[in-house]
Amino acid sequence: MTQDELKALVGQAALQYVTPGEIVGVGTGSTVNKFIEALATLKDRVPGAVSSSEASTARLKAIGIPVLEANAVETIGVYIDGADEIDGQGHMIKGGGAALTREKIVAAQSRRFVCIADESKLVATLGAFPLPVEVIPMATARVIRQFAALGGQARVRLKDGVPLVTDNGQHIVDVTGLKISDPLGFESEVNQWPGVVTVGVFAHQKASVCLLGTAEGVRTLS
């Protein structure tokens, strides 16, 4: 199976976690796009969604699912999202699509986080994928130096030759060279650096369940 087919497989499998009549939280990325396509078949039973990005919002609206503001909803039953890396405990690196801040907000509001990913995303230790960190622009140079002190090489993510601007009007730095053996401690530390909006380690908001697309079918990690 191709990677695209594996993504479609887990996107479809995630439907079993959607409770008819309940608001669903929707992440961002190519795997989630497959989930949104599958969700179209249930749209009459989904009263609305809270979305983690402008891109997913547009796709949800296109299939006729109302998109609600996070502030208008108290608790979301399930949040479905992809990952750039996930370990066997459900800790993830996210933010390859630059939507990490809103993703963490919607995840924090949800009772259950169902991660959907193809098997290439499963790792023993987080850190091979460049870690995305959303940063207030005036702090990027100092945050880059702080990562250098930890042994990481950080650079500002560019789009069309200029710094990418997130849905929240901030920049992203991507950090390579890190081995994140204590995801909870690492997330807590980097989160309190001045100017950091969100670090792309999801350990406090880890996945409750991971649906992994493999050549043999969907493998469920929980």
Binding residues for substrate, as ranges, are: 28-31, 81-84, 94-97, 121
Nearer to ligand 5RP, 103 or 154 (CB): 103
Interacting residues of 160 by C-beta distance below 8 A, sequence separation 6+: none
Q: Does 102 bind ligand 5RP (CB under 6 A)?
A: no
Q: Does 99 bind ligand 5RP (CB under 6 A)?
A: yes
Q: Report the b/e string of 108-122 with b at 16+ CB within 10 A.
A: ebbeebbbbbbeebb
Find out whether 22 and 101 touch, Cβ atoms under 8 Å: no
Dihedral, CA atoms, 17, 100, 161, 138, nearest 10 degrees?
A: 170
To the nearest whole angstrom, how small is the minimum distance from the Cβ of residue 217 to ligand 5RP? 19
Q: Work out which of 12, 28, 56, 140 binds ligand 5RP, going by CB under 6 A.
A: 28
Joined together, the tokens standing for residue 10 give 């887990």
Q: Work out which of 15, 17, 22, 30 binds ligand 5RP, going by CB under 6 A.
A: 30
Cα angle 108-127-149, degrees, rounded to a multiple of 5: 100
- For β-strands 209-214 and 217-221, DSSP reports them as antiparallel
To the query of whether residue 85 is one of the catalytic residues in this protein, the response is no
User: In this chain, which stretch among 77-85, 133-141, 181-189, 210-218 interacts with ligand 5RP, using CB under 6 A?
Assistant: 77-85
Nearer to ligand 5RP, 7 or 154 (CB): 7
In whole angstroms, what is the distance from residue 78 CA to residue 1 CA? 28
User: In this chain, which stretch among 82-90, 149-157, 172-180, 190-198 interacts with ligand 5RP, using CB under 6 A?
Assistant: 82-90
Q: Work out which of 83, 173, 197, 212 binds ligand 5RP, going by CB under 6 A.
A: 83
Nearer to ligand 5RP, 82 or 152 (CB): 82
In whole angstroms, what is the distance from residue 126 CA to residue 123 CA? 7
Q: Would you give the DSSP letter of residue 88? A: T
Q: Work out which of 6, 59, 81, 86 binds ligand 5RP, going by CB under 6 A.
A: 81
Q: Does 94 bind ligand 5RP (CB under 6 A)?
A: yes
Cα angle 189-195-199, degrees, rounded to a multiple of 5: 45
Helices (H), 63-217: 100-108, 140-149, 183-191
User: In this chain, which stretch among 23-31, 145-153, 155-163, 205-213 interacts with ligand 5RP, using CB under 6 A?
Assistant: 23-31
Q: Which residues are catalytic?
A: 103
What residue ranges bind ligand 5RP (CB under 6 A)?
A: 27-31, 81-84, 94-100, 103
